[in-house]
Chains A and B, each alone.
Chain A
Amino acid sequence: DAGVIQSPRHEVTEMGQEVTLRCKPISGHNSLFWYRQTMMRGLELLIYFNNNVPIDDSGMPEDRFSAKMPNASFSTLKIQPSEPRDSAVYFCASRPRTGREGAGGPVYNEQFFGPGTRLTVL
C-alpha cells in the first residue's frame, strides 16, 4: 500500500487565490482527518470525516476553509480566498475502523499521516 497520498507536496500562491489540497486515504480506512501545522500553533485538527461524512469541523478556522469527501478514496481541503496567515503544512491522516479488543474495550486504531502539503501564501 502506498500509504496516505497528498497533493501537491508544495504549493506557492498569491494572496486572494483559491487553493485546493487533495488527499487519498489508505484503502479500507473509514476515517479521515485534516490537520494544519505551524510553528506558532503546533498541530491543529481542522476537520474529520467518518464514512465520508463530516463529523466535527469546529477546527476549521474560518468560512474561507471548506472540506469535502465525495467518496471513500478522496478528500479535498479548499481555501478561498487564501491569505498569508494560511501558510502552513497541511496533513491528511486516515484511520481504520475502530475495532473491539475482547473485554478490554474498543481499539482506537492508529492514524496514518500523509506526507503533508507545504503551503506558502505570498
Chain B
Amino acid sequence: GENVEQHPSTLSVQEGDSAVIKCTYSDSASNYFPWYKQELGKRPQLIIDIRSNVGEKKDQRIAVTLNKTAKHFSLHITETQPEDSAVYFCAASINGNQFYFGTGTSLTVIP
C-alpha cells in the first residue's frame, strides 16, 4: 500500500518568515494530494490540494509543489503569522478515495 512520510515533525519559525513542509509518497498511482491544518483539539481542515496533472498551486500565502518523478510534494507558507500555528498533515490518494496521511508537522510561529 501507499506510504507517506512527512518532515519535519516539528518546525518553529519567526513571524514573517517562510515555512516549508515536505512529504514523500511511494505509490506512483497516487494522483491527488491534499494538505490539512489541524488546530489543537479541533478537526482537520483542508487548506490546499493539488492533482498530479499540475506541478504547483498557490492560494494567497500558501503554495504546494509536486514532483511526480521524485514522488514528493511540499507545502510552502510565506509571511507566517501566529494563527498559522497548528499541525499540518499531507496526504496522498488515488482518485480521491483512500487517503494515506503523513504523521504531521507541528508548526509554531513565534511572534
Contacts and interface: CB of A to CB of B under 8 A. Distances in A.
Contact of B96 (A45, A104, A106, A116): A106
A110 interface: yes
B95 A106 contact: yes
A51 to B, nearest CB: 13
B67 to A, nearest CB: 19
Contacts of A91: 43-44
Interface in A74-122: 91, 95, 98, 104-106, 108-111, 113-116
A42 B103 contact: yes
A33 B97 CA distance: 9
B44 A43 contact: yes
B43 A104 contact: no
A82 to B, nearest CB: 23
A100 B19 CA distance: 33
Interface stretch (B20-28, B46-54, B55-63, B69-77): B46-54
B43 A111 contact: no
Nearest to B4: A42
**What 4 pairs between A and B have smallest CB-CB spacing?**
A108-B96, A113-B43, A43-B101, A42-B103
